[in-house]
């Protein structure tokens, strides 16, 4: 693979809240772009976080790649267009860019397997590999969650009859500095503030600064909240990373990927339970006979125990 673009499933990849994306059927643009940026920067990205940052939480509908140019730029990646030109001319540029290590956002009709395709709706994929003879192109398709390889003639036919004919090339800006977190450390210890104004302290702040995290924290969750009197806290980042801080051990552990998204989502549920019974230091009461609530609370209690163990051991 000339550009190691990871496979992303636009319909099932969990967001930092632990839930499937609300706009999954239309998320081919952020799914493809986030995967390509991850390949270029080696920093974990999340398609739903891209969607929410650019279009807002809860938006459902089609998305324009041009709206993501500024967001990609904040992550140190430049997006430029290849247009105008014939499909064959644009694909020649695509082949050259992929060979240079630059992935491309390529459009095809939504009925791309039909012969010939005729849909007025466009679907986006991430071009990432070219055969040794230059006759075949491989793209990561976020709808099928797979790499798909076809001849250049196949891609040219689909680009030619697609309603959206702009091709985007992604390139890492050499020497770019992504300052997503501002160092606000003081005499009391490490501190970091993200672009939304969320502030982390101590171990979690030291982690995001040292690792140059490009993800903001999820808003509305205190960095040092210890629900139910526990000895741990979790900060959920928008890329799905969960930072687990043990108060006694003063150690920060991190869980990434889908597992991190699940931990973050369950922790948010734990915090909400605490907020439902503020200041009690115990489990909030539930309506009698509410089996679903009992099961949910049992799951959250199990999470609390697991996180406490992780935090205490400093794993």
User: Which whole-number Å values give the CA distances from 262 to 242, 257, 276, 313, in the listed order?
Assistant: 9, 9, 21, 20
| Residue scoring higher pLDDT (282 or 169) | 169
Contact 35, 104 (CB under 8 A): no
Considering only 10-14, 17-21, 63-67, which range has the smallest mean pLDDT?
17-21
Contact 241, 256 (CB under 8 A): yes
Domains for the chain: give ranges and CATH numbers.
24-172 (3.90.70.10), 217-313 (no CATH)
Considering only 24-33, 78-87, 176-185, which range has the smallest mean pLDDT?
176-185
Q: How many angstroms separate the CA atoms of 120 and 156, rounded?
A: 16
Against a cut of 0.75, is the pTM above it?
no
Q: How many angstroms separate the CA atoms of 75 and 156, rounded?
A: 31
- What is the tens place of the pLDDT at every residue in 241-279? 878 776 666 667 777 766 677 777 777 776 666 666 544
Q: How many angstroms separate the CA atoms of 298 and 262, rounded?
A: 16
Question: H or E stretch including 107?
Answer: strand 104-109
| Residue scoring higher pLDDT (199 or 59) | 59
Tokens of 98: 């992929």
% of residues, the chain, pLDDT over 90? 41
Tokens of 73: 């730029």
């Amino acid at each position: 693979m000339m550009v190691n673009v990871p496979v992303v499933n636009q319909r099932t990849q969990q967001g930092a809240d632990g839930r499937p994306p609300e706009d999954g059927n239309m998320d081919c643009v952020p799914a493809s772009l986030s995967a390509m940026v991850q390949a270029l920067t080696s920093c974990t990205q999340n398609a739903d976080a891209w969607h929410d940052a650019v279009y807002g939480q809860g938006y459902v509908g089609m998305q324009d790649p041009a709206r993501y140019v500024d967001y990609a730029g904040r992550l140190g990646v430049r997006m430029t267009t290849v247009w105008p030109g014939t499909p064959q001319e644009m694909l020649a540029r695509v082949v050259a860019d992929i060979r240079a290590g630059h992935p491309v956002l390529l459009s095809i009709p939504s009925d791309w397997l039909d012969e010939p395709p005729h849909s007025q709706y466009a679907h986006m994929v991430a071009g990432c590999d070219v055969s040794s003879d230059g006759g075949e192109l491989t793209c990561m398709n976020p709808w099928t969650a797979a790499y798909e390889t076809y001849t250049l003639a196949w891609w040219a036919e689909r680009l030619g009859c697609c309603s959206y004919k702009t091709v985007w090339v992604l390139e890492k800006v050499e020497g770019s500095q992504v300052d997503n977190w501002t160092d606000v450390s003081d005499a009391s210890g490490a501190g970091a503030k993200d672009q939304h104004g969320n502030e982390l302290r101590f171990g979690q702040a030291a982690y995001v600064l040292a690792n140059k995290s490009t993800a903001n924290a999820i808003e509305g969750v205190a960095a040092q909240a210890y629900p139910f009197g526990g000895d741990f806290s979790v900060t959920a980042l928008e890329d799905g990373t969960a930072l687990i801080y043990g108060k006694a051990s003063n150690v920060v552990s991190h869980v990434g990927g889908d597992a991190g998204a699940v931990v973050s989502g369950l922790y948010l549920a734990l915090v909400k339970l605490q907020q439902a019974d503020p200041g009690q230091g115990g489990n909030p009461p539930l309506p009698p006979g509410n089996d679903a609530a009992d099961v949910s609370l049992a799951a959250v209690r199990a999470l609390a125990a697991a996180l406490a163990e992780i935090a205490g051991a400093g794993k």
